[in-house]
Structures are given as C-alpha cells and as structure tokens.
Amino acid sequence: MFTIATWNINSIRLREGLVARLLQEESPDILCLQECKSPVEKIPLEAFRALGYNHIVARGQKGYNGVAILSRLPIEDAGDRDYARLGHARHVAARLENGVVIHNMYVPAGGDIPDRELNPKFGQKLDFVAEMRDVFHADRPERSILVGDLNIAPREDDVWSHKQLLKIVSHTPIEVDHLLSAQDAGKWVDITRKDIPDGLLYSWWSYRARDWDAADKGRRLDHVWASPDIANAGHGSRILRPVRGWEKPSDHVPVFASFDL
C-alpha cells in the first residue's frame, strides 16, 4: 500500500518549509507538486532527501509552471509531454517498481475571460485538455494514476455556487465538457469522489477573500484519478483544508488518497 498526495505549492522555494512540514506531519509515500516556479536544479532537493524522499522526478522552468514528484519509494522517470505545444513544464510521469505509472499534471488556469477569441490563454487551456483526451483515447491508460491541479471544478458541488460560477473560468460548461471528455477517454475514475461521493468539496480558496475560511468560496481544482483496472484499490481520500491556514500558504491544499497496490 502507498499514499499519494497532490498539491499546487505556488513556488517550491518560497514554500519549502510548508512542503517539509507536510512531509513530516503526513508522511505521504509520494508527493506530486505543481507550480513549482523553479528550474529543477534550484529545487531544494537536499531538504526533502533529509526527510527520506530520496527519489525525485521533475520538470522545471524559471518563475512559472513546473511539476515535481517526490517519493520515498523508488521511481524512475517515465517522461513528459508538451501538451498543446506550449513549451511549459506542465507534465511529468514516474513509474513505480510495481509498474504503476503516476502522471503529475498542471493544466493552464486559462485567464479570466472564458472566450478563446478574446483570451488566448483560455484557448490554450481548452487545447491542452483536448490533447489529454486524444492521448488517453489513443493509448488507454493501464495501471496508472493521474493527479494534479487540473484547474477545472467539474461538479456542481465542487464549487461554492454553481449558478454564480457558470461564467467563471474553471467551472464553465465548455471546460467541464472538455475535462469529462478527457476523463471518459481514459475511463479514469475520480478517486476523491469515489470515496466522498456527496457534498461540497474544495481544494482551492482565493487569496482575494479577506477571510477565506469564513467566506468559504472554494473550488475543487485538484484531482486524483486512477485507471479502471486499479481504481478499486484506491481509498482513504481526504483534502487537508487546514493547510490553507498555514503561514504564507498556497491558495491550494493537498489532496490525498491511498492505494492497495
């Protein structure tokens, strides 16, 4: 059995201490980070190795994007893909010794205007997710786990107000359709919602709220999916809401799941 966590850290160097705290307090076997905002050579790997995370696969770039997989279990680099040809470090994969492949994804946020003509970033987001769909359709995932900040809250109860967010990037019908098409193409199972099928569930709260906790205007942007052949092995999902209240936090919190594999 192993436990995996996904967390958009919003700068791994700025929040090295928060990553170390999570590793010490929660001890996931594997931690997938997004938005590391650092070249790989400047990620503070020694601090994480000192905590037992000796196996690291990452893709980075200066100041933006970046994905990293920290593991206590041996992993090997399983490559990456430049989705939508953006030239961004938004995907990296690692293979465990048991053959399970972990995909760590960081889907573009997509800007503020949900119109690809007025806002090229929105078009890039849709193209990125459409390519995910095409890749999964062409090469059906097996013994795979996909985690990351997918920047889309698909269900009505994944946002604080379905009605008020229908025209807000991350919950627009076209984004949701794209994400569900990608999920369906790979027959991915949403492990978080398999374990917690009902009720409001969030992993992100904006920095703009004066009191994020009281306002509670959250969205579930961070996901853990599994291919259907191993989905029944997934369990124990939880979202660590209190982490949003740590000092100088990311606006995302970690999402956990365990797998009996």
Residues acting as catalytic residues: 106, 149, 252
At 191, the amino acid letter reads I
Is 251 annotated as contributing to ligand binding?
A: yes
> What does the buried/exposed string (b/e) look like for 20-53 if buried means 16 or more CB atoms within 10 Å of the residue's CB?
bebbeeeebbbbbbbbbbbebeebebeebeeeeb
Is 35 annotated as contributing to ligand binding?
A: yes
Is 149 annotated as contributing to ligand binding?
A: yes
User: How many angstroms separate the CA atoms of 216 and 209, rounded?
Assistant: 9
User: How many angstroms separate the CA atoms of 197 and 187, rounded?
Assistant: 18
User: How many angstroms separate the CA atoms of 108 and 123, rounded?
Assistant: 10
Q: Cα 256 to chain center, whole Å?
A: 11
Q: How many residues does the chain have?
A: 261
CA dihedral 136, 33, 255, 145 (to 10 degrees): 30
* DSSP-H helix ranges across 91-215: 120-138, 162-165, 173-185, 191-195, 212-215
Is 16 annotated as contributing to ligand binding?
A: no
User: How many angstroms separate the CA atoms of 98 and 230, rounded?
Assistant: 12
Is 10 annotated as contributing to ligand binding?
A: no
> Scanning the structure block, which residue is given the tokens 């593991």?
71
User: How many angstroms separate the CA atoms of 149 and 32, rounded?
Assistant: 10
Which residue positions form the known binding site for Mg(2+)? 8, 35, 149, 151, 251-252
